[in-house]
Amino acid sequence: MATSSTQAVPDTRDIPEHVAIIMDGNGRWATRRLLPRTAGHAKGVQAVRRVVEACGRAGVRYLTLFAFSSENWRRPAEEVSLLMRLFVQALEREIGKLDEQGVRLHVIGDLSAFEPRLQELIMAAQARTAHNDRLHLTVAANYGGRWDILQATRAMLAAEPGLAARPELVDEERLARHLSMAWAPEPDLFIRTGGEQRISNFLIWQMAYAEFYFTDLFWPDFGANELTAAFDWYRTRERRFGRTSAQVSENGTK
């Protein structure tokens, strides 16, 4: 049975191949300016555009954004409704530009909770950009890390019912191929804006070895310069993946 100790050490480089971001602080950005929280979410869409473009220029291959968690349904109904409208508007307005820039869009999460119109737009946007490979932009919507592991377990057992009687055959690789982002490498760098220092049920399986970067900046204020600062910090990290510093030096990787 495969274990984590037998897995190959991932290649590392100065620019992270996969960046995952929790875009936090939209509401507080607006509140501090005596604006409704919804204004902060609208401003946050502009930050998404800046960061997508900056990642494309820098050579990032995978960018995953936590747009709406499964816990966010607990927010005020007006705010949730606005978030859904912004999602629709972003898909309608931005998909053409993303396609031109070579960006492939993926949306992960339990999409069955969304209105049919939004589900249709998501499917159409994914289909339109399916041929692109410059940057894979993944939006996590109605997503939770625990949900992801649970749905992967169910999918694995549905695909291989005999595993229920042979649990010793279940290993990380077998389960991981059913996770929402099984097609992508695991994140190298996790960024959270807004001053909080937790992962909030985001990619909890996939971020086992990610480097965590926290900033007090609210998401609407985050842009190319702030992303560069995060990359500069990332370059200072020694990514050992269970090895010693001496082994890292011998192999010539960070």
Q: Which of 11, 14, 24, 132 is catalytic?
A: 24
Instruction: Decide if 72 is catalytic.
Output: yes
- The answer to whether the beta carbons of residues 141 and 109 sit under 8 Å apart is yes
Angle formed at CA 131 by CA 126 and CA 136, multiple of 5 degrees: 65
Instruction: Decide if 142 is catalytic.
Output: no
User: What one-character-per-residue DSSP string does the chain give?
Assistant: ---GGGSPPPP--SS-SEEEEE---HHHHHHHTT--HHHHHHHHHHHHHHHHHHHHHHT--EEEEEEEEGGGGGS-HHHHHHHHHHHHHHHHHHHHHHHHTTEEEEEES-GGGS-HHHHHHHHHHHHHTTT--SEEEEEEEEE-HHHHHHHHHHHHHHH-GGGGT-GGG--HHHHHTTSTTTTSPPPSEEEE-SS--S-TTSSTTTTTTPEEEE-SS-GGG--HHHHHHHHHHHHT----TT--HHHHHHHT--
Q: Which of 11, 26, 72, 148 is catalytic?
A: 72
Give the catalytic positions in this structure: 24, 72
